[in-house]
Structure 1
């Protein structure tokens, strides 16, 4: 019963991610604590997201902007190595707050964009998105915000974002395997979620074609803004 329910939930969140490019993974990780122990939360979510993003990239492979992948991959490898090494020595409690503020300023402040443009690149995006993904469930918006500014075409944004997030989640899964997490203990749940993720990617990719470019831009900007506000609010709630 749990497998069927989680497979269905993953299917729905994967549709959302395939249509808009983001949001599905965050929704899923918010739901999973009700079904999984905390030590399994990020590893199982990461493996599911590999299948979700990889299938989304596969269905939209013609729209992937491959020139950004080597830069992102280099940054990701450095990021995962750095954060895996210092994870036990530093506090990352307030990282979501900074991510949220960055996204809001990047989306809505022209002055901020003019100042930050010289520092924004896919090396840094890979470093922080992949490195922080081991502890923060909301790093996807970092790259999507950058892609949103670099490309006008909705299919290019979603497909390229999916390819980059595949790298992020795959490297994260490798690290958890290295640290000894046994994925086989959750094999039936994982298989049900992978099936739901791939099917959701297929349905969502087809549904995305029904949305025109202007509407997509508005939806993505609103969703990124809501996700950023949630990150900030969650931190302040913890402080109270």
Structure 2
């Protein structure tokens, strides 16, 4: 029996346990393969968490997950990638918070999925590598509506041609900035995070455990295998995004 303090209104023990396990697995995937955990977490939460709470709570959980990952790999962070990306993220968060109508999620899914596949299979556009302000602004604007834009940010991180540890560390730092700004904006817009804090704390702890387990695998693979695994994960998740978007459009 899960203590009631950890269960938001309407959530049962089984759902809580499924979400905690998902947080562990999602963080394991992200630190071991560089990307993918945020999307996995969002996909599961989307079926189990009320829509109004989905994006805000997912954002806070991802802060904890990414912050823990950045702390464990702190010495590998590529700091020059952060300042301009952070400035762009501020612009994206502010503009996203000012938009009162939701972007059509199906088109967002298709667009991000197609962009990422293009970046993996071809040469990443120069804008991804050289215009971090634009990447930060666009990805943070989209995360206000879509939630998990780690795929988008990963194309910028990947374009830096970093070793595997630096890739994981830098991506974690960038996502911490992005989700942190998003959480601030949702708080200013009136979302009551306090009702979800015990639940969020457990999800973050489960994610930290997954991060520590995933780091063991990260230390056992070489850069070539890491980049291959990263590309495969990116393409698979992008195909899933495109399929979901097309399915939504056809259903509508």
TM superposition score normalised by structure 1: 0.92
Change (3 A) 1:35 1:96: closer
For residues 209 and 85 of structure 1, the distance between their equivalents in structure 2, rounded to whole angstroms, comes to 43
Residue 166 of structure 1 is matched in structure 2 by: 176
Would the aligned equivalents of 1:6 and 1:192 in 2 still touch at CA under 8 Å?
A: no
Tell me which of 227, 235, 239 is aligned to 1:225: 235
Point out where structure 1 has 5 or more consecutive residues left out of the alignment: none
SS at match of 2:146: coil
After superposition, the C-alpha distances for 1:122-165 in whole angstroms (9 at most, x for unaligned) are 11111111111011133111121122121240011110000000
- Residue deviations 1:156-183, cap 9 Å, x none? 1110000000011111111111111111
The alpha carbon displacement at 1:53 in A equals 0.2
Are residues 33 and 91 of structure 1, via their aligned partners in 2, closer, same or farther at CA, if it must alter by over 3 Å?
Answer: closer
Q: Deviation at 1:87?
A: 4.0
Residues 239 and 214 of structure 1: CA distance in aligned 2, closer, same or farther (over 3 Å): same
Partner of 2:51: 38
Report the alpha carbon displacement of residue 207 of structure 1 after superposing the two structures with TM. 2.0
Deviation at 1:118, TM superposition (A): 4.9
Q: Does 1:106 align with 2:119?
A: yes
Kindly indicate whether the alpha-carbon contact (under 8 Å) linking 1:6 and 1:189 is maintained by their aligned counterparts in 2: no
2:69 is aligned to 56
Match runs of 1:180-219 below 5 Å: 180-219=190-229
Tell me if the contact between 2:106 and 2:244 (Cα under 8 Å) persists in the aligned partners. Answer: no
Partner of 1:137: 147
Query: Residue in 1 aligned with 2:28?
Result: 15
Q: Take 1:90 and 1:150, find their aligned partners in 2: how far apart are those partners?
A: 30
Question: How many angstroms apart in 2 are the aligned matches of 1:200 and 1:126?
Answer: 27
Q: CA deviation at 1:91?
A: 4.6
RMSD between aligned residues: 1.7
1:77-122, Cα deviation, whole Å (9 max, x unpaired) = 0111112112427656412212111111111124xx4xx3156421
Task: Provide the rounded CA distance (Å) in 1 between the counterparts of 2:165 and 2:103.
Answer: 38
Could you list the per-position Cα deviations for residues 39-65 of structure 1 after superposition, in whole angstroms to 9, with x for gaps in the alignment?
A: 111111110000000000000001000
TM-score normalised by structure 2 residue count: 0.88
Deviation at 1:24, TM superposition (A): 0.7
DSSP-derived class of the 1:151 partner: coil
2:126 is the counterpart of 1:117:
yes
Number of residue pairs the alignment of both structures matches? 236
2:94 counterpart of 1:94? no
Looking at structure 2, the residues matched to 228 and 44 of structure 1 have their Cα atoms a distance apart, in angstroms, of 23
| Shift in alpha-carbon separation, 1:124–1:226, aligned structure 2, 3 A | same
Give unmatched runs, 5+ long, in structure 2.
Answer: 1-12
